[in-house]
Amino acid sequence: MKERFGKLSLYLINQAENEIKKINQQTLFQMAEVRKKARERNSESSLKMKAHFNETYNKLLNNSLSSYLLKIKEEVLKSKNKLMLELISDLTDLIKDKIKNNYSSYISLLLKNLENIKHFVDKPPEIIIHLNSIDFKYFSNNLGKIESILKNKVRLIRSKEEITGGFKCVIMAGYLSYDHTIDNQLKKSVSIIEIEFSKIFSDSEPDIRALENNYIQFIQNQKLAVNEYLKKYE
């Protein structure tokens, strides 16, 4: 996490410094014009022009600061979302491996889950069960394991959607459905994952604040430096 923010810091600081260089180049050109016109006007007018320039320059720096701080928030949110998606993907892959390596235990769990909800789903005229292709093939050859749990007619369907594991149960009477897929369980766990990620990112808040403070200080230094630019063109 610290390495990611280190790279983010370096990238954003370099990007911001390049923007400031562009501002400074524009500043030098503007001051050349100020100097030329100042020769033709009295000192009071020159001071007004310098004050106007100073105000404009500080406004540009403040805009750069606001833009930079917004980029930090956007990058942090993007990183958080990306890491969450990566974690869910890794969990899914891990579950797939567990199922593959111990398929009999997985089948026992699936049947147990069906047993737990049979009083909700065992309704006439039939119960439709959606399975992934692997489970569909298994239960097509072992339909008796499901029929021993349910009294009513059972129809198996190979799901068109990608299912990691588990099943979707549809009751024709009332058109009710129960989603007991692993994918749905993971979705329900997103809030828990978000809480854990909030803890991780709260640990990184000092790094984020340091990143913001570094650039705030950089902007302050640029504001102080404007007086030096002005002196060169007096």
Q: What are the pLDDT digits (tens) for 176-199?
A: 889 999 999 888 887 777 777 777
Highest mean pLDDT among 32-41, 69-78, 160-169: 160-169
Q: Which of 156, 171, 186 is the last residue of a domain?
A: 186
Q: How far apart are CA 213 and CA 201, in angstroms?
A: 18
Range of the domain at 182: 103-186
| Residues 145, 207 share a domain | no
| Residues 67, 9 share a domain | yes
Q: What is the mean pLDDT of residues 76-83?
A: 79
- Which pLDDT belongs to residue 176? 80
| Residues 153, 84 share a domain | no
Helices (H), 102-178: 103-116, 118-121, 133-141, 144-147
pTM across the whole model: 0.60
| Residues 198, 95 share a domain | yes
**What tens digit of pLDDT does each residue of 83-108 get?**
888 888 888 999 999 999 999 999 99
Residue 230 has pLDDT above 60, yes or no: no
| Residues 73, 7 share a domain | yes
CA torsion angle for 173, 175, 181, 185 (degrees, to 10)? -110
Phi-psi region of 175 (alpha: psi -120 to 50; beta: other; left: phi over 0): left
State the CATH number of the domain containing residue 157. Answer: 3.30.2320.30
| Residues 85, 8 share a domain | yes
Q: What is the mean pLDDT of residues 43-65?
A: 66
| Residues 45, 134 share a domain | no
- Which pLDDT belongs to residue 77? 77
Domain count within the chain: 2
| Residues 88, 58 share a domain | yes
